[in-house]
Chain A
Amino acid sequence: MAAVTSSETAKVTLPGDEQILITREFDAPRHLVYKAWTTPELVKRWWSGNRGEMTIAEIDLRVGGAWRYVMVTDGGFEVAFHGEYREIVPNERIVSTEVYEGMPEGEALNIVTFTDKDGRTTLTVLVQHASKEARDAHINSGMETGMQEGMDLLEQVAVSLR
């Protein structure tokens, strides 16, 4: 597993039946967080976390423009997401749709805000689903990824034992 250098954790709450709210503070100015969030070659370096490699990060950052992210887990499992930008306020707010291509009938709306405070930045991601079922399935998909990660680790261990 990769070394974790930060003790900050994302805070996830479920403010409404159809919502997920993710909050995290960053020790960096707002324009840099925005830049890392919206620049394809930078997104590729963080978005997949410890769970694999991003193979595609396409960002057409304008209202009506499309985005698409694809990652491949170390075990070869591919996950893809895409959507459309609905509202863009540079360095402040991005509203976009998001579809997990494994469940294309469920479209969510992501409202991302960047708030500046003494050179630090608070990031919030509010995911608004159309139904509680879709919201719950979304969180469960995180669980599947977690399980996938476990399987990947197991595979690594197995390979090292050969």
Chain B
Amino acid sequence: MARAATTTDAFNAVAEARRRQILDILATGERPVNDLVRLLGLSQPQVSKHLRVLREVGAVDVRDEGRRRMYRLNAHALKPIHDWVKNYERSWSERFDRLDGVLEELEEEGDGGGDE
């Protein structure tokens, strides 16, 4: 498969640690750019660049409130990533459900301590 451009794919958009930090902050509520600049300790142009990438994949939405630009998370755009992890999680859950059964039997055998 061809690699998608950074600006068209949610996976690539969140591949950058700073962009994930932005999403973490926005997960707690809508914020103006200035808040993000302050919380991340980056320059405004750097933050704007990351926000642009996130906007282009739909991961954040923006609206003007007076003179301020307010950003908020659009979690729906990140669903492909969620689904991807969920599938992996499901295979481990099935595995651990089996392990529960094994453990139950070991306990019934009265395997109180140490080796048999």
Contact = CB atoms under 8 A, between A and B. Distances in A.
A50 B96 CA distance: 10
Nearest to A3: B97
A8 B89 contact: no
Interface stretch (A19-27, A93-101, A102-110, A153-161): A19-27
B94 A12 contact: no
Interface of A: 4-6, 8-14, 17, 20, 22, 24, 26-29, 31-33, 35-36, 42, 45-51, 132, 136, 139-140, 142-143, 145-146
Interface of B: 11, 15, 17, 84-85, 87-104, 106-107, 111, 113-114
Contacts of A36: 99, 102-103, 106
A132 B15 contact: yes
Contacts of A45: 98, 101-102
Nearest to A139: B88
A85 to B, nearest CB: 18
Contacts of A31: 113-114
A143 B88 contact: yes
A10 B101 contact: no
Say what secondary structure dominates the interface of chain B.
helix
Nearest to A26: B103
A8 B102 contact: no
A146 B111 CA distance: 35
A6 B100 contact: yes
A64 B81 CA distance: 37
Say what secondary structure dominates the interface of chain A.
mixed
Instruction: In the A-B complex, list the 10 residue pairs whose CB atoms are closest, starting with the nearest.
Output: A46-B98, A49-B94, A10-B92, A142-B88, A28-B103, A49-B95, A12-B89, A46-B99, A9-B93, A10-B93
B72 to A, nearest CB: 23
B19 to A, nearest CB: 12
B78 to A, nearest CB: 12
A145 B102 contact: no
Given A5-B97, A8-B96, A132-B15, A49 B103 contact: no
